[in-house]
Structures are given as C-alpha cells and as structure tokens.
Amino acid sequence: MKSKLFGLLICIMLLTTLLAAAKPANSIPVTTSSKTQAASSTMVDVPVWEIGDTWTYRVNDLSINYTTGTQSVLLQGSITQLPLEVTNTTGDFYTLSFATTMNGIGHITANPSDGPVNISITFSDLAIQGTLKVEKSTLGIKNIAFSFDNQKIAFNVIDQPYITLPSWLHKISAKFTSNIDINSDISVSLLSFPLFTGMYWDLIATNISVNGKLQSFFFSVLHFLNNFAKLFGMDFLPAEIADLLPVIDFNQALTNYLGTNVFQVPGFAGLFYCPATESISVPAGTYDAYNISLMGGIGQCYYASAASNIIQLHGNFQDILPFVQRIDLVLVSTTYS
C-alpha cells in the first residue's frame, strides 16, 4: 500500500499541472462531423482573428475529479484573469499566448486495510504561462503548452497509517517547475460554422497525448536519500517511484500508473444544439449570443459574433471528459472589434 500512497502523491502533483484530462484508452479512429439544420434567419461564419486581438476570461471554477472505489483525487482551481492574445496567424492555426496566476485546493483520500489516508493540497498565485493553438476553420483547440517555474505547492498530511510523524512534518511545502504539452489528433471544438439557430452537431472523437516534465529540489533530495539508503540495503521508496526521480517524465509516469499517456475524448452524435440567440450580459458587456446546449443541458455555452468568441461557458462535463468535473468561465474584456 505504501507504493500506492506514493503513487497517489505523484498523481496529485501531475494533476496539479494537468488542467485538462480524459479517459485513458487505446487510439480511436477519427470520425467526421454531421449537422442537422433547420431554417434560420440568422447565420454567422467562422470569424477571422488578427495579431493583437485579446480576450480575457475569469475562470471561477475548474474542477478535476479522479475517483475509484477506494481512493479519490479532487482538485478545484480558479483564475481571476486569463488573458489570451493572438500572437501568430501563420498557416491553418492561430497561436494565442497567455500568462496568469492560479489558486487551488485539493484532497487525496484512500481507505486501505491499514487505515485511512487523507491529504490536502493548496497552491496560491501559481504563476503559469503558455500558448494555445486554435484551428482557424473551427476555433477548436489543437494544442495546449504551458509551464511554471519554481512555484510553491503545499501538502497537509491529515491522516496516514504508515509512520508516526512529528507535528511539524504534517505540513510540507515544496517548489516545483514543470512544462507540459497536450496535443489533440483532431481539434476539440464546442462550435460549428456556419452557426445558426436550430442546428445540431456532433462532438468529434479524438485522442489527446500528454508529454512534459515535473521537477523539484524536493524530488532531488528524495532521490539522493533513497540512493544513500540503498548503500546500506535500506532504500525507502518503492522501485516504481524511485525510477521516476529526480525528474518526472509525464509520459513515463502516466504510462506506469494509468497504462498510457494517451487520453480519449469520446465522440457523441448530436451533442450540441443551438435553439436560439439571447441577450447575455457578462463583465465584458452585453451581447447577442448563440445559446448552445451540451448534451441536453449538462453544460451551456454562449458564443457572440460581436466578440468573435465564447463569452460564457459553464457545466459539469465528466460524462464527456471523465476527469474534468466542472468548468465555469466568463469573458471579462476583449479588444476584438
């Protein structure tokens, strides 16, 4: 069970950096989209973005939930301002750059036969920066690359049955550096163009691969101490954990613990429906927006042609992306005109 506990600790640190994930699966075939349309007096084509266009969002909630029968990892994050700026328009994709800070809390729990495990995690003002690659024809996301450097994450060991720790060791803080690259075989989009009221369209199945590295002085110390203990036949880390240190490679770690670093976004026929346009007020202003319902109402998306982007998105998405429990974001400002 010790190896499982260490594995869960590694997983929660990985999940802290993975702000999106899906069900692990074998590679799945690419499928094509279908649309059902009805007569409509309003129709909007895919917009054209220019270098310097910006959209700033407030992410009220980004919740990740990985739960099995005896253990769970829960993370909830928020971002006060997520500014996205078009920095490249070459080829078939736009590149949007961002730099922001994120706050979050989480819990890891397990119920082994030895006794309960309960560990909390917190991080404040976690500075991250990166890019999004967005397909011009669909506004779907093809790639997310982001990183953070020497950022502090705190752990509080509330319960664990394996070793008696002094009170000052129940709370552990360490600084981590990470870079991560999430790439999709097919761009993942909530939209379909031309967009008009009365139309249905599909979520296209795709595979998402995750690569990158996670490192920390804390890992280096563990690696050194474990190697030193080995000299006396007393190594204290399970071999599968020791093999990941001192720099954790996401491909190797995810493959070891989940069986793959490739995750599936399943296809759903008729997942999206646009019944009408509405006047929607967000911090960025009031817009005539297309009301897009996801899977009969588990989520709601509003796209405004005047803003050339989604202005609001909220809902529970675990039926679509099994690790991504909830997303709630809203447009705060834009320079698009």
> Residue 20 is encoded by which pair of tokens?
């999106």
Q: Name the residue type at position 232.
A: F
pLDDT at 264: 84
- The CA distances from residue 336 to 33, 258, 333, in Å, are 29, 41, 9
**What pLDDT score was predicted for residue 192?**
95
Residue 57 has pLDDT above 60, yes or no: yes
As a whole number of angstroms, the distance between CA 16 and CA 255 comes to: 17
Per the prediction, the chain carries an average pLDDT of 84
pLDDT > 70 in the chain, percent? 84
| pLDDT of residue 10 exceeding 60 | no
Q: Among 73-82, 128-137, 158-167, 203-212, where is mean pLDDT lowest?
A: 158-167
Among 188, 193, 199, which residue's Cα sits nearest to residue 277? 199
Q: Return the sign of the alpha-carbon dihedral for residues 310, 328, 34, 182.
A: positive
Confidence of residue 3 (pLDDT cuts 50, 70, 90): very low
Cis amide linkage into residue 47, ω under 30° from 0:
no
- For residues 331 and 282, what is the distance between their CA atoms, to the nearest angstrom? 6
Evaluate if residue 34 carries a pLDDT over 50: no
Q: pLDDT band for position 15 (50/70/90)?
A: very low
Residues 90-143 have pLDDT tens digits of 999 999 999 999 999 999 887 777 778 888 999 999 999 999 999 999 999 999
Q: What was the pLDDT predicted at 163? A: 62
- Tell me the average pLDDT across 283-301: 91
Left if phi > 0, otherwise alpha if psi is -120 to 50, otherwise beta: which for 115? left
Assigned token pair, 19:
């702000």
